[in-house]
Structure formats: structure tokens, C-alpha cells
Structure 1
Amino acid sequence: MDDTLRRKIQTLLDQHRTMRIATLRADGWPQVTTVGYANEGFTIYFLCGPDSQKAQNISRDDRVSLAIDDDPA
């Protein structure tokens, strides 16, 4: 990844606080949830309950997709 793209991504991550995370349910269908996040560089942190559907999905299949949202007013 070139430095220009790296800076653009870092700026996007630093300017927002909500994202959508897509996981795969046991039946193979996607589940998308909006969550708040914090980042340290390109490392992204978010909270979810250990018994949540999202946590169950990730523990079964750790592939996820993320999309940074425009933060609500």
C-alpha cells in the first residue's frame, strides 16, 4: 500500500467513530451490525457481548468485512 492511500485510510479512521461489521451466520447468510469503534493506527477495536450473535458468528468464522460510517449528528 502506498503512503498516500495509507494516509487517506488513517484520516478516515481518525475522523469517524461508527462502522458496520458484517459477519456470517451459521446458515451462511450475512449479518451486518452498526457498532462504535476506537482505533490505534490501523488496529480497530469494538465491543460486543460474549453471547451476542456477532460474537458467535466471529468465533465460528473469523472472516469479517468493515465499512466506516458517516457518524450520525
Structure 2
Amino acid sequence: MRKANKRITDFDIIRRMLDTCHVGRLGTLGADGWPRIKPLNFAWHEGRIYFHCALEGEKLDDIRHEDRVCFEVDLPIAYVRGTTETPCRAEYLYRSVIMRGRARLVEEAAEKVLALDCLMRKYQPDGTWGSFPEEKLAITGIVRIDVEEVVGKEELGKDELREQALAMLASGVPLPAILG
């Protein structure tokens, strides 16, 4: 990362983002040489990203072609308005995480259940989802990304702006906000 002062060094912040951001973006390389990005639901568990998909399609074709992937999540915090006197003050405050790793289709039923439980705990935390029938597991694709590199980055502004951004993050107010 070019600007070290923007790096998130506290892994707890990164973990909270992975646990709370609802949409991640998978970056793959197609057999035609073109990169692709796909938004998807995901769960972070013990250094791995899990997501579900069909047993055939572009994501799996790309992963079979090249198992090296990247994955990104971001949290828009606030838009800071520019003014007629200082239009360059306009900026976006955010946090983001970019990971690189290797993806593979999960074959083992126990790991599929683990991944689906992780996904359900994240997206349906009231615990009302029940068990996963064997016949459904057989037709559900689960992909695991073994994460090899994690980089967190943030732009929270300076001075008073930074204090406002941190206070918004701590308070749980709906994001993104508009400041200025």
C-alpha cells in the first residue's frame, strides 16, 4: 500500500467488517483473459471466505481456470460535501478490505454444513433456519477461499472530521452519512 497511514493495522476492525458487511466482491480471471467481479453474500470463518453458488456457471468456470482470486468488502461511512469556496474538500470516508487467496469448490458434506451455518448465522442471526437436507447439500455449490493476504485501508478524514467518522462508527448510526 502506497500510503501506510491509511492501512488498518488492527485486525479486530477488519474482522468486524468481514462479520458485518453484507456484500463482498469476488474477483476472478476468465479463460478469455478478462477479469470479472461478482457481488455476493459471504461468511468469514477462521481465515477463510465461504459463499454458495450453483454447481455450474461463470464463477466456477473461472475458479477452475485459475484458482487465484481476490475478494473485497467496503464500508462507506460518509460523504463530505465540498463548498463553492473549497470544492476540493469533497471526499468519501470509508473502510475497505482486500484479500487474495485460492478458491476451490467444497466437496465434503461436513464443510458444506459448516459454511452454510456460518452464512445463516450472519444473515439470519435469530437462528431460525433448521438443518440442511442431504439432497439440498448435493445440489448446492460452496466455495472456500483460503485467504493468503489481507489488507485493510481506511480514509476517515483529519482532525474533527475523523472524530465525527469514528463517533458514527461507534454509535451504530445508519451509514453512509453526509457531512459538511
For Structure 1 versus Structure 2, the TM-score category normalised by the shorter chain is 0.7 to 0.9
Bigger relative contact order, structure 1 or 2 (CA pairs below 8 A, ≥6 apart) = 1
Bigger strand share: 2
Mapped pair 1:32 → 2:37: yes
TM-score by length of structure 1 reads 0.79
Q: Aligned partners of 1:45 and 1:69: how far apart in 2? A: 17
Q: Aligned partners of 2:10 and 2:68: how far apart in 1? A: 23
Question: For 1:49, which of 54, 68, 77 is the aligned residue?
Answer: 54
Amino acid at match of 1:62: D
Q: Aligned partners of 1:57 and 1:22: how far apart in 2? A: 10
Name segments (4+ residues, structure 1) moved above 4 Å.
Answer: none
The unaligned stretches of length 5 or more in structure 2 are: 1-8, 76-180
TM-score by length of structure 2 reads 0.35
The unaligned stretches of length 5 or more in structure 1 are: none
How much identity, in percent, do the aligned residues show? 34
Tell me the residue number matched to 1:63: 68
Q: Aligned partners of 1:5 and 1:69: how far apart in 2? A: 16
CA RMSD of aligned residues (A): 1.5
Q: Aligned partners of 1:9 and 1:44: how far apart in 2? A: 13
Question: Relative to structure 2, which stretch is displaced further, 30-39 or 40-49?
Answer: 40-49
Give the SS at the match of 1:39: strand
Give the SS at the match of 2:19: helix
Structure number with greater Rg is 2
